[in-house]
Amino acid sequence: QKEVEQNSGPLSVPEGAIASLNCTYSDRVSQSFFWYRQYSGKSPELIMSIYSNGDKEDGRFTAQLNKASQYVSLLIRDSQPSDSATYLCAVNGGNNRLAFGKGNQVVVIP
């Protein structure tokens, strides 16, 4: 069973600060990595995808991938109240199936 772990507990950050989310995965052959944002009662929407080691930036979001250490992270800069949501880490091991972590709730405090 491929596992994706996200550190538990809600993350509270003041408006304008950086939110940092981490995700580790167990399958060394994983090829593609995704961060989804899910608002309460809604379906997940893609924030970032990353496939190669290093950083990938898109607006206020930066994804970081380290395949040797088997982790992927998401940074949210200049956090806004609209960023308050649950963030899901998903990993594709090459069999066209995504394994999801349980998610991290982010609360941005105005």
**Does residue 101 belong to the site contacting another protein (CB under 8 A)?**
yes
- What is the closest distance, in whole angstroms, from the C-beta atom of residue 16 to another protein in the complex? 29
Site for another protein in 3-62 (CB under 8 A): 31-32, 34, 42-46, 49, 51
CA angle 80, 19, 50 (to 5 degrees): 105
Q: How far apart are the first and last CA of the chain?
A: 40
Which residues are near another protein by CB under 8 A? 1, 31-32, 34, 42-46, 49, 51, 88, 90, 92-98, 100-103
